A and B are shown apart, each in its own frame.
Chain A
Amino acid sequence: KAGVTQTPRYLIKTRGQQVTLSCSPISGHRSVSWYQQTPGQGLQFLFEYFSETQRNKGNFPGRFSGRQFSNSRSEMNVSTLELGDSALYLCASSSSSLGTNEKLFFGSGTQLSVL
């Protein structure tokens, strides 16, 4: 079974641009979460989707948005990029909606560099 796939692996953008990152969860998984990882702030929760609905959102500005499609694939978008948005963006999927004992499977991430 294929793991969580994130594309692209690396991305370089300049300030003010916008970017879209993609995540394909493990087949059959309906829950997708996104995290931002930086050396200074560590891992921070961005948002979570289940069956195309956002059910939880972290404390990030409105420039960060996401969506989930009917095949459970998810995208996140960052508009008007800032230098501080440079980070590794990780996607994780899970097989259940319950969220109590479920294991999260992480992708290898998209490394975004904003110049």
Chain B
Amino acid sequence: GNSVTQMEGPVTLSEEAFLTINCTYTATGYPSLFWYVQYPGEGLQLLLKATKADDKGSNKGFEATYRKETTSFHLEKGSVQVSDSAVYFCALRSSDGGATNKLIFGTGTLLAVQP
């Protein structure tokens, strides 16, 4: 079945450090891939997305490239800020099964950025 695997957290970085959060997936067909972010006490917000192979999603300095050959969608940011501290979720939407908004999420990675 479809699944998403994320690196375990927490990830603790100093401000202005480089961030990578690994995400790999298993899916049939051509899924769409997403990164969502959850700040404390809030729901999830879409950070970026990619809908086909080699697409690069980007937003607020974060980037992720849809790599079909390695089934990966790693999240990167060149210089993190304290305000980036949150839980990051990798997710996929399968292309099978017709119209659906069903997302399959990874377990989430807690990022803590220290000043």
Are A and B part of the same complex?
A: yes
Measured in the bound complex, the distance between the Cα atoms of B93 and A104 in whole Å is 11
Residues of chain B in range 39-67 having any CB-CB distance to chain A below 8 Å: 41-46, 49, 51
Residues of chain A in range 22-54 having any CB-CB distance to chain B below 8 Å: 31, 33, 35, 42-45, 48, 50
Least CB distance from B64 to A in Å reads: 16
Q: Which residues of A contact B102 (CB under 8 A)?
A: 33, 45, 48, 56, 58, 99
Q: Which residues of B contact A98 (CB under 8 A)?
A: 99
Given contact pairs A42-B107, A101-B32, A101-B51, A90 touches B101 in the complex (Cβ within 8 A)? no
Least CB distance from B111 to A in Å reads: 16
For A, the interface residue count at a CB cutoff of 8 angstroms equals: 28
Q: Which residues of A contact B46 (CB under 8 A)?
A: 103-104
Q: Interface size class for chain B?
A: 20 to 34
Partner of A42, one of B51, B97, B99, B105: B105
Q: Which residues of A contact B82 (CB under 8 A)?
A: none
Structural contact, B41 and A43, CB atoms closer than 8 A: no
Given contact pairs A42-B107, A43-B105, A100-B93, A106 touches B99 in the complex (Cβ within 8 A)? no
Judge if A97 is at the interface, Cβ distance under 8 Å: yes
Residues of chain B in range 11-36 having any CB-CB distance to chain A below 8 Å: 32, 36
Judge if B73 is at the interface, Cβ distance under 8 Å: no
Residues of chain B in range 99-115 having any CB-CB distance to chain A below 8 Å: 99-108
Q: B residues near A, CB below 8 A?
A: 32, 36, 41-46, 49, 51, 89, 93, 95, 97, 99-108
Please provide the 5 A-B residue pairs with the shortest distance between their CB atoms, ordered closest to farther: A106-B43, A43-B105, A106-B44, A42-B107, A99-B100
5 A-B interface contacts by CB (under 8 A): A35-B105, A56-B102, A90-B43, A100-B51, A104-B44
Contacts A94-B101, A98-B99 known; 4 new A-B pairs at CB < 8 A: A43-B108, A58-B102, A99-B93, A108-B43
